[in-house]
Chains A and B, each alone.
Chain A
Amino acid sequence: EDQVTQSPEALRLQEGESSSLNCSYTVSGLRGLFWYRQDPGKGPEFLFTLYSAGEEKEKERLKATLTKKESFLHITAPKPEDSATYLCAVRAITSGTYKYIFGTGTRLKVLA
């Protein structure tokens, strides 16, 4: 069964304290791994797409990496405005059709 697991469920960081969020996946036909940021009561906001092992993407304080089994979202020197839930999703193909499978997310709180 296709599955996406994120850890930790929740993370509290001091401002400037770097850390990493994990997304591990088991899917039969990966067609991309996506990171989203979700603020309370809002829709997911796209951050990164990764397609192949070894790929890395960066945006401001965030860097996403991908291996064959997992992805990491590294947050360098976070600020309070980085507080949000970070969602990982994989796009998989099964029986010729596509779907997105989301993890449960990591709730990040950055303290000033």
Chain B
Amino acid sequence: EPEVTQTPSHQVTQMGQEVILRCVPISNHLYFYWYRQILGQKVEFLVSFYNNEISEKSEIFDDQFSVERPDGSNFTLKIRSTKLEDSAMYFCASTSTALMNTEAFFGQGTRLTVV
């Protein structure tokens, strides 16, 4: 069964360092998303991406964040200078179209710990 794959599963980084979280969406999907979930809190939308550009971003997705689809399969989230409050689970998701009858399939997440 096709699945969204995320690497690494756990990343520990020093405050102020750059991190790149990687995702391989389902191969025929066209819409990609990043979400985060701070421990014990709800899943929060960060950004959506289609046709090599950002479709929408939340207020959380500030200038420290960027996304990229460097090749035909990977979708990355970069945090330029991490802060303690960036510690969270980051989930990548993909959907086949933006039309109705489209559920988002999620990866297993990357746990980011900023120390």
| Main SS at interface, chain A | strand
Query: What number of A-B contacts does a CB cutoff of 8 Å give?
Result: 66
Chain B positions within 8 Å of A87 at CB level = 42-43
Contact count band on B: 20 to 34
Do A43 and B106 have beta carbons less than 8 Å apart?
yes
Q: Say yes or no: A51-B103 contact (C-beta < 8 A), given A43-B109, A44-B43, A97-B55.
A: no
Is the C-beta of B105 less than 8 angstroms from some C-beta in chain A?
yes
A98 CA / B58 CA spacing, docked (Å) = 12
Given contacts A32-B101, A43-B91, A97-B55, 19 further A-B contacts (CB under 8 A): A32-B100, A32-B102, A34-B104, A42-B109, A43-B106, A44-B91, A49-B101, A49-B102, A51-B100, A87-B43, A89-B43, A91-B104, A97-B56, A98-B31, A99-B48, A100-B33, A102-B35, A102-B45, A104-B42
Please report which residues of chain B, range 27-44, place their CB below 8 angstroms from some CB of chain A when the two chains form the complex.
31, 33, 35, 41-44
B binding-site residues for A, Cβ under 8 Å: 4, 6, 31, 33, 35, 41-45, 48, 55-56, 58, 89, 91, 93, 98, 100-109, 111
